[in-house]
Amino acid sequence: MNILGEKLNHREIWKKLKFGDSLIESDVKVLRTGISELDELFSNGVKPGKLIEWGLPQGRNGRIFPVLFLRKEIPLTIWIYADLGLDIYAPAWAAHGVDLGRIFFLKCDDPVKKLKPLFLDDTFKIIIIDSPKKLSRGDISFISVQARANKQIIFLIRNYFLSPRIGNPFAHIRVNCSQNYKGIYSVNFIKGKNLKKILLTDSRIFNE
Amino acid sequence: MNKKSIVKVIDLKTLSRDETLPCFGAFYCEIESVGKNIFSLTPWVMQWTENIWLFNLSPCRNFWAIQKEKKKKGLYELFEQILDISFEKEYLSVFANHPWQCIFFLDYLLEKKAKGVFSLNTLLNRRIYESLPWDHWFNPLVILSDHLNYLKVKGFRESQFRSKQAQLKRFIKRMDLWGPFDLSQADVASIKRRFSGWLGEVWAWTFNGFLEGEKQTLNLFNSEDNQVNLGSFPWIPFQIDDPPRVIRHLEYPVNRWDVVESLLIEDFSKLCAVNSWTEREQVSSIIWGITLYNLKSLKVELNFRNPYSLHSDTRNNFKTALYQAYYAYMELMDKLRARETDLDLPEEIPFVGWEIEINECLYIPPQITELISTENSKLNYEDILDLQNKIPLPIESYVIVPDFFPDLSFRSGEAGNTGEYDFSLNQWIEASSNRPFFYYKNPLPITCPLELKRRFLERTSNDWWESENLKDITKDYFLLEDREGNFIWVFRDNSGAWYKHGIYS
What is the distance in angstroms between the Cα of B434 and the nearest Cα belonging to chain A? 7
Stretch among A15-19, A125-129, B23-27, B340-344 having the lowest mean pLDDT: A15-19
**Residue B497 corresponds to which amino acid?**
A
Q: Is the dihedral of CA B101, B103, B108, B112 positive or negative?
A: positive
Q: Return the pLDDT at A20.
A: 42
Spacing of C-alpha B337 from chain mean position: 34
Q: What is the largest CA-CA distance in chain A?
A: 53
Residue A156 in this model has a pLDDT that exceeds 90: yes
Of B258, B380, B453, the CB nearest to A181: B453
Determine how many CB atoms are found less than 10 A away from the CB of residue B209. Answer: 18
Confidence of residue A6 (pLDDT cuts 50, 70, 90): very low
CA neighbor of B13 nearest in space, from B92, B67, B99: B92
Q: Return the pLDDT at B461.
A: 84
Give Rg (Cα) of chain A: 17
Mean pLDDT of B241-257: 90
Q: Which CATH superfamily is domain B245-388 in?
A: DNA polymerase, Y-family, little finger domain (3.30.1490.100)
Could you tell me which residue, B301 or B21, shows the higher pLDDT? B301
**Residue A33 corresponds to which amino acid?**
T
Q: Return the pLDDT at B294.
A: 87
User: How confident is the prediction for chain B on average, in pLDDT?
Assistant: 84
Residues 13-72 of A with CB under 8 A from B: 56, 58-63, 67
Determine how many CB atoms are found less than 10 A away from the CB of residue B37. Answer: 19
Q: Is B256 on the interface with A (CB under 8 A)?
A: no
Mutate: best of A68, A100, A116, A157, partner B, most B CBs <10 A:
A100
Q: Is B397 on the interface with A (CB under 8 A)?
A: yes
Q: Which pLDDT tens digit goes with each residue over B179-219?
A: 999 988 888 888 888 888 899 999 999 988 776 555 555 55
Cα–Cα distance measured from residue B313 to residue A109, given in angstroms and rounded to the nearest whole number: 29
> Domain extents for chain A?
28-206
Mean pLDDT of A97-119: 92
The residues near B128 (Cβ < 8 Å, ≥ 6 apart) are: B105, B108
Q: Return the pLDDT at B379.
A: 56
Confidence of residue B413 (pLDDT cuts 50, 70, 90): confident
A171 and A51 in contact (C-beta within 8 Å)? yes
Residue B265 in this model has a pLDDT that exceeds 50: yes
B166 and B59 in contact (C-beta within 8 Å)? no
Q: Return the pLDDT at B58.
A: 84
Residue B305 in this model has a pLDDT that exceeds 90: no
Residue A146 in this model has a pLDDT that exceeds 60: yes
For chain A, strand residue ranges (E) read 51-55, 77-81, 87-88, 103-107, 126-130, 153-158, 173-179, 185-191, 197-200
Residues 171-200 of B with CB under 8 A from A: none
What is the distance in angstroms between the Cα of A4 and the nearest Cα belonging to chain B? 7
- The conformation of residue A112, written as its DSSP 8-state character, comes to H
Mean pLDDT of B429-440: 92
Confidence of residue B111 (pLDDT cuts 50, 70, 90): very high
What is the distance in angstroms between the Cα of A47 and the nearest Cα belonging to chain B? 20
Determine how many CB atoms are found less than 10 A away from the CB of residue B158. Answer: 12
CA neighbor of B164 nearest in space, from B181, B182, B144: B144
Q: Is A95 on the interface with B (CB under 8 A)?
A: yes
With CA atoms as reference, the chain A residue closest to B386 would be A123
Contact A63 B505 (CB under 8 A): yes
Q: Return the pLDDT at B30.
A: 84
How far apart, in Å, are the Cα atoms of A126 and each of A156, B31, B502? 11, 49, 25
Contact B437 A101 (CB under 8 A): no
Q: Return the pLDDT at A25.
A: 37
Q: Return the pLDDT at B477.
A: 94
With CA atoms as reference, the chain A residue closest to B436 would be A92
Of A89, A91, A123, the CB nearest to B438: A89
What is the distance in angstroms between the Cα of B200 and the nearest Cα belonging to chain A? 35
Cα–Cα distance measured from residue B120 to residue B94, given in angstroms and rounded to the nearest whole number: 7
Is the ipTM above a cut-off of 0.95? no
Size of the A and B interface in Cβ pairs below 8 Å: 151
For B346-497, strand residue ranges (E) read 351-363, 398-400, 410-412, 438-446, 453-461, 474-481, 487-493
Q: A115 contacts in B (CB within 8 Å)?
A: 391, 393
**Residue B286 corresponds to which amino acid?**
I
Cα–Cα distance measured from residue B44 to residue B409, given in angstroms and rounded to the nearest whole number: 31
- Highest-confidence segment of B311-315, B371-375, B411-415: B311-315
- Highest-confidence segment of A105-109, B67-71, B445-449: A105-109
Give Rg (Cα) of chain B: 26
Could you tell me which residue, B81 or A49, shows the higher pLDDT? A49
Mean pLDDT of B39-63: 90
Residues 262-291 of B with CB under 8 A from A: none
What is the secondary structure of A17-55 as a DSSP string?
HHH--TTS---PPPB--S-HHHHHHTTSSBPTT-EEEEE
Q: Return the pLDDT at B223.
A: 59
Confidence of residue A125 (pLDDT cuts 50, 70, 90): very high
Residue A12 in this model has a pLDDT that exceeds 90: no
Residue B370 in this model has a pLDDT that exceeds 70: no
Mean pLDDT of B433-457: 89
Confidence of residue B82 (pLDDT cuts 50, 70, 90): confident
User: How confident is the prediction for chain A on average, in pLDDT?
Assistant: 85
B501 and B491 in contact (C-beta within 8 Å)? yes
- Which CATH code is given to the segment(s) A28-206? 3.40.50.300
Could you tell me which residue, A87 or B17, shows the higher pLDDT? A87
CA neighbor of B79 nearest in space, from B151, B13, B4: B13
Cα–Cα distance measured from residue B183 to residue B173, given in angstroms and rounded to the nearest whole number: 13
Mean pLDDT of B75-91: 82
Cα–Cα distance measured from residue B118 to residue B95, given in angstroms and rounded to the nearest whole number: 6
Q: Return the pLDDT at A5.
A: 41
Q: Is A104 on the interface with B (CB under 8 A)?
A: yes
Cα–Cα distance measured from residue A184 to residue A191, given in angstroms and rounded to the nearest whole number: 22
> Domain extents for chain B?
10-230, 245-388, 399-503
How far apart, in Å, are the Cα atoms of B445 and each of B396, B407, B440? 27, 16, 11
Confidence of residue B139 (pLDDT cuts 50, 70, 90): very high
Contact B437 A92 (CB under 8 A): yes
Q: Return the pLDDT at A3.
A: 43
Could you tell me which residue, B468 or B91, shows the higher pLDDT? B91
Q: A106 contacts in B (CB within 8 Å)?
A: 391, 393-396
Q: Is A184 on the interface with B (CB under 8 A)?
A: no
What is the distance in angstroms between the Cα of B477 and the nearest Cα belonging to chain A? 15
Residue A120 in this model has a pLDDT that exceeds 80: yes
Contact A117 B391 (CB under 8 A): yes
Q: Which pLDDT tens digit goes with each residue over A159-170?
A: 999 998 888 999
Q: Return the pLDDT at B316.
A: 86
Q: Return the pLDDT at A117.
A: 92
Cα–Cα distance measured from residue A99 to residue A91, given in angstroms and rounded to the nearest whole number: 10
Spell B69-88 as b/e; 16+ CB within 10 A means b: bbeebbbbbbbbbbbbbbbe
Determine how many CB atoms are found less than 10 A away from the CB of residue B51. Answer: 14
For B184-320, strand residue ranges (E) read 245-254, 281-292, 297-308
Stretch among A18-32, A187-201, B487-501 having the lowest mean pLDDT: A18-32
How far apart, in Å, are the Cα atoms of A23 and each of A14, A16, A20, A159? 16, 11, 9, 39
What is the distance in angstroms between the Cα of A86 and the nearest Cα belonging to chain B? 5
pLDDT above 70 as % of chain B? 85
- What size, in residues, is chain A? 208
Contact B261 A102 (CB under 8 A): no
Residue B8 in this model has a pLDDT that exceeds 50: no
